[in-house]
Amino acid sequence: MFGENNAFIYYPIITISMGLNDFDFKVKISSPRYPTENKETLIFCISNIFPKCSWEIKEDEVVGETRYLTRFKMILEDMRIRDTARDYLQKRVIGNRCSFTLSKQASCNEKISFSEQEQPLGGIQVTITCDDIIMLIENLTETDR
């Protein structure tokens, strides 16, 4: 089949898959809290997307910080919006940060809805900081291609 001068060399394709734990990132979350809103309910709704968050409750705002994005990634996958999310997030990268707004109402239903406009009760402001923010976004929105 192959002559003495012909050689077939097999080079295995090695894909290195990085998990979320391989990134050093920080997520800051803040949301206005109006007098008509119950602070526990507000935190519960945001925690549907960002669990394992340490919260600071202020009079008119809740502020949280986490290093956990697994639930966020799972919701993107379950909702089948990874490609849309990738485009949306990449357009909001400045330096080593990505900042965006989510709908409070959607978070109560364990959904992610990116928001461009002002909302009556305000949105959830999210800022992700990472030295390799583009690769982190790729990881959060990866699909089997």
pLDDT above 70 for 145: no
pLDDT above 50 for 11: no
Q: Which CATH class is domain 20-140?
A: alpha beta
Task: Give me the residue label for tokens 């965006």.
Answer: 100
Q: What is the pLDDT of residue 13?
A: 45
Tell me how far CA of residue 103 lies from CA of 28, 65, 69, 78, 132, in angstroms. 16, 18, 17, 17, 26
pLDDT above 90 for 143: no
Q: What is the pLDDT of residue 9?
A: 53
3-state secondary structure of 79: helix
Average pLDDT, the chain: 86
Q: What is the pLDDT of residue 82?
A: 95
pLDDT above 60 for 123: yes
* Domain spans of the chain, in order of start: 20-140
